[in-house]
């Protein structure tokens, strides 16, 4: 019996069936993938920064504005040619760059421009009217009203000048941030146009001075002796000493525990042996605060630092500020060094302004914020940040009162005399922090303070990271205190 052709036909049909089934599976896989992309990944694709349609939509109409004291410091300009009809513009861009950030046709927005991008481009759902919903039109954009005081902002910017540094000013009673300055700055307008942004971006990112870094909020550095305020607060709150005028048990010279290293004072003739907290702040006695740190122990110091805001990586003002750090897991010699704001202690100007603000406000810290309100295009308030500011008790009113008094002594007849202002009650603390391995680089010059006059109050922190001053002339009083004084004068006397 011959089955050859029949067997061949059956075998062929099997091959066809298998190929058909395989092809059908491929079709099903393609359909499933298409469905997944269309319905589940559509939003992710729409939000992708490389999606050109997003930029076209964002810049199809003028953006909302960032407002300082009732005046817009941003704007929008009509472009010529291309599919991006408008671009962002800035008024006094370098002055306000640390506040606004930038909105670019080529790069993701930063600072307030980034946080409130949806509000400013009209895609925030809170902006939609009934008619917008019916017609599926994008809403008119809203505005961001800042807490920045233009006089204080300009005073800080002008006083810092060519120095590399940063400054922050806060109203202690309300938490309103009155100034945020970082130098060297940059003009956000150079990044707004997609045709020219690349050249500006390359220049800015290759600059060794890093002008795009917001030093006021996002560059924690060793705070040096300004951190002694935190140590003093811990010593008083713990009951180690009951008064800033009580003599302490502080040998001079002081040898770091477990070492042969003698901790020196900047002023070798200062009366630092067994000095009271007031005198120790007045002359910035390292021996006193290093010994206090060891007596208190790192756990108590860290607890006090954290009450002021250290080690908090969730601080939004609303820009996310980098955490200031009080370390853990140290031996006693390292703990002693943290008492003078060295070892691995770091702080931003915002953080040190918060320390002075809490002390000036009777021991209570009002949450700092640099946006007062956000509104729709008609001016109706969508969110009021002033109303939502929270208050936290940091130290007792008695401790705060004593620290205020001691800080006033620092300015009146101590290391901070360059911050004196006629007719203003000023309290402050200087700091000169070592920088680099074995202090090989120029020190950081710090000053943190508060001022009160005629029912007004302001708390300030300034750091000068680098200047043209000779190394021997670098000090908190010489470089940072004059900047703080200019800011306090602008806040209190205008």
Q: Would you please indicate which residues are annotated as catalytic (active-site) residues?
A: 225
Q: How far, in Å, CA of 223 to CA of 182, rounded?
A: 17
Q: How far, in Å, CA of 250 to CA of 202, rounded?
A: 53
E strands, 353-455, are 364-366, 371-375, 381-384, 391-393, 425-435, 441-453
Q: Say which residue the tokens 């996002």 belong to.
A: 218
Q: How far, in Å, CA of 281 to CA of 109, rounded?
A: 43
Q: How many CB atoms lie within 10 A of CB 253?
A: 13
Residues 6+ apart with CB under 8 A from 404: 359, 360, 427, 450
Strands 143-146 and 66-68: parallel
Q: Among 490, 413, 404, which Cα is nearest to 448's?
A: 404
Q: Say which residue the tokens 């980098």 belong to.
A: 322
B/e letters for 122-152, b = 16+ CB within 10 Å, e = fewer, are bbbeebbeeeeeeeeebbbbbbbbbbbbbbb
Instruction: Give the 3-state secondary structure of residue 99.
Output: helix
Residues 6+ apart with CB under 8 A from 111: 98, 99, 100, 101, 102, 214, 319
Q: Among 386, 387, 404, which Cα is nearest to 395's?
A: 404
Strands 371-375 and 262-263: unpaired
Q: How far, in Å, CA of 91 to CA of 78, rounded?
A: 16
Q: Among 363, 372, 379, 356, which Cα is nearest to 426's?
A: 356
Strands 74-78 and 177-183: unpaired
Q: Say which residue the tokens 């993938």 belong to.
A: 33
Question: Which parts of 149-251 fold into alpha helices (H)?
Answer: 150-160, 197-206, 215-218, 228-238
Contact 109, 103 (CB under 8 A): yes
Q: Which two tokens stand for residue 57?
A: 């939509």
Quick one: angle between helices 349-360 and 397-413, nearest 10? 110
Using a 10 angstrom Cβ sphere, with 0-12 exposed, 13-18 middle and 19 or more buried, the burial of residue 49 is: exposed
């Amino acid at each position: 019996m011959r089955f050859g052709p029949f067997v061949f036909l059956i075998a062929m049909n099997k091959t066809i069936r298998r190929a058909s089934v395989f092809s059908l599976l491929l079709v099903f896989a393609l359909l499933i993938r298409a469905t997944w992309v269309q319905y589940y990944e559509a939003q992710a694709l729409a939000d992708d920064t490389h999606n050109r349609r997003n930029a076209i939509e964002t810049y199809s109409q003028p953006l909302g504005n960032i407002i300082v004291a009732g005046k817009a410091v941003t704007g929008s300009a009509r472009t010529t040619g291309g599919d991006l009809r408008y671009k962002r513009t800035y008024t006094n861009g370098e002055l306000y760059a640390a506040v606004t950030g930038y909105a670019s046709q080529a790069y993701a927005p930063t600072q307030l421009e980034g946080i409130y991008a949806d509000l400013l481009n009209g895609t925030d759902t809170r902006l939609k009217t009934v008619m917008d919903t019916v017609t599926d039109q994008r809403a008119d954009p809203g505005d961001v009203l800042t807490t920045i005081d233009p006089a204080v902002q300009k005073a800080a910017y002008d006083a810092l000048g060519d120095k590399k540094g940063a400054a922050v000013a806060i109203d202690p009673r309300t938490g309103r941030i009155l100034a945020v300055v970082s130098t060297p700055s940059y003009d956000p307008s150079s990044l707004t146009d997609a045709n020219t942004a690349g050249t500006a971006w390359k220049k800015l990112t290759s600059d060794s001075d890093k002008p795009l870094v917001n030093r006021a909020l996002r560059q924690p550095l060793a705070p040096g002796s300004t951190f002694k305020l935190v140590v003093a607060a811990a010593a008083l709150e713990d009951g180690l000493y009951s008064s800033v005028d009580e003599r302490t048990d502080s040998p001079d010279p002081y040898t770091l525990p477990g070492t042969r290293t003698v901790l020196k004072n900047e002023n070798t003739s200062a009366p630092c042996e067994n000095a009271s907290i007031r005198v120790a702040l007045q002359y910035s006695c390292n021996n006193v605060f290093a010994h206090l740190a060891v007596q208190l122990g790192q756990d108590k110091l860290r607890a006090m630092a954290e009450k002021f805001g250290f080690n908090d990586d969730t601080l939004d003002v609303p820009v996310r500020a980098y955490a200031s750090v009080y370390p853990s897991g140290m031996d006693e010699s390292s703990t002693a060094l943290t008492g003078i704001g060295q070892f691995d202690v770091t702080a931003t100007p915002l953080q040190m302004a918060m320390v002075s603000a809490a002390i000036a406000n009777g021991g209570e810290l009002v949450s700092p914020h640099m946006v007062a309100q956000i509104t729709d295009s008609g001016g109706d308030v969508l969110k009021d940040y002033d109303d939502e500011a929270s208050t936290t008790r940091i130290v007792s009113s008695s401790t705060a009162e004593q620290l205020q008094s001691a800080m006033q002594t620092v300015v009146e007849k101590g290391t901070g005399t360059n911050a004196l202002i006629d007719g203003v009650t000023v309290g402050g603390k200087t700091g000169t922090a070592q920088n680099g391995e074995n202090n090989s680089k120029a020190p950081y010059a710090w000053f943190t303070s508060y001022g009160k006059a005629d029912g007004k109050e302001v708390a300030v922190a300034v750091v000068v990271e680098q200047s043209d001053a000779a190394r021997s002339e670098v000090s908190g009083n010489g470089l940072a205190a004059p900047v703080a004084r200019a800011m306090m004068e602008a806040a209190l006397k205008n």
